[in-house]
Structure formats: structure tokens, C-alpha cells
């Protein structure tokens, strides 16, 4: 991390730790906005941090680590898309996973699904039926409230002839990358909880952490969390380069695998206490189970990545992988805190 990223991480982790117990949109969203986090991916001349995806990865990972129950990740992505599309709205935006319907002459009629905190958002970005993304005002929608197993709002929005702005970005891929970054943080947090628990909890006259069977299971978990974290970091690099379909697929597959293994080990290590509502494991594991399905399963992305690598000659398979990391990385645009000189 560079100095500005260190500062971003410090500010974010202090705030998210403070908000980690039942933050609500009504009571706490103002604190997020005061920090200017939603403008992370906006240029400084547009009033933002001027940050890149490497910075977003830090913020999103920490949001996952603290199981932040506010739509910050979605608002950051939506703000960037709205800015790129020149779609001016008051209030925060969100992103949605899917849309079904017709988009004709700048108007959308149909259903947008999986809109995070759609009921509260001013606008929503969703994958457009014919490719690319569209931006819609939530005020034009009839909102059907839903939530994922973690209790995060995932609303269905019904539109009829609503005006929409469009842009060419692959929003589903951006969503997948964002969920990978959040999952990487949540996995590290669940690992920290499990390690702390087995070091405290005594059975057979000694801490559980002294038992080899427990140690080996947590080592497996640590390896999976490490894989998820490196995937989340590397996908941010690809997003900053601008050629990222391969890496997003690879990262979402890998973090999904890690989420499956990590949640199982975390609960096994905790025993019954981890299964209670009072204890802080479920806000992490229920999010991990939810995010594993959101923006594409292992199978979905495996097919996409599989098609990517099988359309080229197999003899270029390795060369394709190495070319992607050899590509010169533009230096990160970096970020500065609000009111700071970059």
C-alpha cells in the first residue's frame, strides 16, 4: 500500500469497526457520505477521491471484513457509472445483478432484480438486456422488497417505459469483482474469529487450538483466505488496466471456492456458539454464502473463462496467461482523503 492507501485503510477501518454492530441507513449513512467514500472512483475534478480499483479493493475488503450493513460498495460503483454516463441524480446509487425486459429508444420496460438497497437508492445501475449497462431512476419504479440470506436488501424494481442512460461497461463483471473483494475481507475476519475462539476455548484440559485436527483445518482455511485475498488484489490490478474479463472470472471462481471451504471450517471450529444469533460469525458467513451466488456462481464463470481459453489455440494457453501479467501496468491514480491535496 502507498501512503494514501494506508490513510484510506485507516479511515475506513476505524469507521467500519464503529459501524459493525447493526448500522442502519437512516442513522449512519451520513457518516459514510461525510467521509466522501462514495466518490472513491470519481475524478477529483468531479468531487471525488480520484481513486482507482486498487483503492476500491482496499475499501471493499474492509467493508467485507466488518460485515458493513450499508450499501457502500454498490454506491461507489454506481457513482462511477453515473459520472461516466453523465447521469446526474441526488442521493446515492446502487447496482443490480440482472434485468429482464425491453430497452427501446432510451426507455426500459421490465424488471431489475437484486438491486442492493433498491428501496433506498436514488438510482440503480443494472446490466442492460442487450449488453452494457443502463442507469435508471428508482423513483420511476415500483419496488418489491426482498433480501438475501444475510438480510441485505436485494429488491426487485418494476419499470414501465422509464428513461434510462446507457454505457458499455460490463456491470455484471464489476459486481463480481466487488463481491470477490468483499468476500476476501469477510474470509479473513471469519478466520480471525475462529483462531481467537480456538485459542480461548478449552476442552480436554487445553485450548482447542492445541489439537492437531483443529490446527490442520484452520490451516486449510488460512490457505483459502490467502487465495481469495490475492485474487481480489490481482483483479483490481486488471480492472485498473482496463482489460479484465479473464481476471474477473478467475477471481470470482476462486473466491467462491474459498467461501465454500472457509465458511464450513469457521463454523466447525466454533461449534454451537458460532450458530447463535448473538455471536458475530453469522454476519460474515451468511454474507459469504449470499455473495457466492451474487454476480455469478463458480459454474457461470467457469463456463465464461473456459470459453475464453478454448477459443484460442491450446498452444497459446500459457502465453495468454503470462501476457496478461507482463502487460505494463499504468501507475495507480492513487487517492487522497477528502480535503487533502493529492
Q: From the list 39, 48, 175, 209, which residue makes contact with other proteins (rule: CB under 8 A)?
A: 209
Task: Give min distance, CB of 163 to other proteins, in A.
Answer: 38
Contact status: 239 vs other proteins (CB under 8 A): no
Q: Stretches 76-84, 127-135, 224-232, 288-296: which one binds other proteins (CB under 8 A)?
A: 224-232
Q: Stretches 28-36, 139-147, 229-237, 279-287: which one binds other proteins (CB under 8 A)?
A: 229-237
Task: Give min distance, CB of 37 to other proteins, in A.
Answer: 16
Contact status: 308 vs other proteins (CB under 8 A): yes
Contact status: 325 vs other proteins (CB under 8 A): yes
Within 17-46, the residues that bind other proteins by CB under 8 A are: 17
Size of the site for other proteins (CB under 8 A): 73
Give the alpha-carbon dihedral of 329, 255, 301, 327, to 10 degrees: 10
Place of cell 501479467: 325
Select 54 or 157, whichever has its Cβ closest to other proteins: 54
Select 291 or 301, whichever has its Cβ closest to other proteins: 301
Angle (CA) 79-225-327 rounded to 5° is 60
Q: Stretches 148-156, 158-166, 281-289, 327-335: which one binds other proteins (CB under 8 A)?
A: 327-335
Within 42-81, the residues that bind other proteins by CB under 8 A are: 54, 62, 65
Contact status: 311 vs other proteins (CB under 8 A): yes
List the one residue out of 340, 335, 342 whose CA is nearest residue 49. 335
Place of cell 457502500: 72
Phi-psi region of 68 (alpha: psi -120 to 50; beta: other; left: phi over 0): beta
Q: From the list 87, 117, 123, 301, which residue makes contact with other proteins (rule: CB under 8 A)?
A: 301
Provide the mask over 185-204, with x wherever binding to other proteins is found by CB under 8 A and - wherever it is not.
--xxx-xx--x--xx-----
Contact status: 233 vs other proteins (CB under 8 A): yes
Q: Stretches 142-150, 169-177, 225-233, 285-293: which one binds other proteins (CB under 8 A)?
A: 225-233
Within 151-190, the residues that bind other proteins by CB under 8 A are: 187-189
Nine cell digits for residue 131:
449488453
Query: How many whole angstroms separate alpha carbon 33 and alpha carbon 333?
Result: 22
Cα dihedral across residues 224, 228, 234, 238: positive or negative: positive
215: which residues sit within 8 A by CB, 6+ positions away?
209
Place of cell 438480510: 151
Q: Stretches 13-21, 112-120, 166-174, 288-296: which one binds other proteins (CB under 8 A)?
A: 13-21
Within 255-284, the residues that bind other proteins by CB under 8 A are: 257
Select 72 or 227, whichever has its Cβ closest to other proteins: 227
Amino acid at each position: 500500500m502507498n501512503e494514501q492507501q494506508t490513510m484510506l485503510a485507516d479511515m475506513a477501518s476505524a469507521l467500519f469497526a464503529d459501524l459493525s454492530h447493526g448500522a442502519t441507513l437512516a442513522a449512519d449513512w451520513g457518516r459514510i457520505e461525510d467521509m466522501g467514500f462514495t466518490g472513491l472512483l470519481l475524478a477529483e475534478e468531479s468531487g471525488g477521491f480520484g481513486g482507482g480499483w486498487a483503492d476500491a479493493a482496499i475499501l471493499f475488503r474492509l467493508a467485507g471484513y466488518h460485515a458493513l450493513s450499508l450499501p457502500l460498495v454498490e454506491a461507489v460503483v454506481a457513482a462511477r457509472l453515473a459520472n461516466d454516463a453523465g447521469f446526474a441524480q441526488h442521493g446515492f446509487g446502487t447496482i443490480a445483478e440482472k434485468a429482464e425486459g425491453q430497452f427501446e429508444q432510451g426507455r426500459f420496460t421490465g424488471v431489475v432484480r437484486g438491486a442492493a438497497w433498491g428501496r433506498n437508492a436514488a438510482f440503480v445501475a443494472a446490466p442492460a438486456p442487450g449488453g452494457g449497462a443502463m442507469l435508471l431512476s428508482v423513483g420511476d419504479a415500483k419496488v418489491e422488497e426482498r433480501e438475501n440470506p444475510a438480510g441485505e436488501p436485494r429488491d426487485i424494481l418494476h419499470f414501465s417505459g422509464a428513461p434510462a442512460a446507457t454505457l458499455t461497461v460490463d456491470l455484471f463483471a464489476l459486481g463480481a469483482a466487488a463481491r470477490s473483494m468483499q468476500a476476501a475481507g469477510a474470509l479473513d475476519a471469519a478466520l480471525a474469529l475462529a483462531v481467537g475462539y480456538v485459542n480461548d476455548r478449552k476442552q480436554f484440559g487445553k485450548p482447542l487450538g492445541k489439537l492437531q485436527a483443529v490446527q490442520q483445518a484452520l490451516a486449510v482455511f488460512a490457505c483459502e483466505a490467502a487465495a481469495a485475498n490475492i485474487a481480489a488484489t490481482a483483479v483490481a490490478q486488471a480492472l485498473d488496466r482496463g482489460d479484465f474479463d479473464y481476471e474477473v472470472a478467475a477471481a470470482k471462481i476462486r473466491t467462491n471456492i474459498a467461501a465454500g471451504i472457509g465458511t464450513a471450517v469457521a463454523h466447525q471450529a466454533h461449534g454451537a456458539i458460532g450458530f447463535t444469533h448473538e455471536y458475530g460469525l453469522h454476519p460474515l458467513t451468511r454474507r459469504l454464502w449470499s455473495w457466492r451466488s451474487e454476480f455469478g456462481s463458480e459454474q457461470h464463470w467457469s463456463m465464461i473463462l473456459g470459453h475464453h481459453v478454448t477459443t484460442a489455440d491450446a498452444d497459446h494457453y500459457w502465453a495468454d496467461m503470462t501476457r496478461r501479467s507482463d502487460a505494463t501496468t499504468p501507475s495507480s491514480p492513487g487517492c487522497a482523503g477528502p480535503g487533502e491535496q493529492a
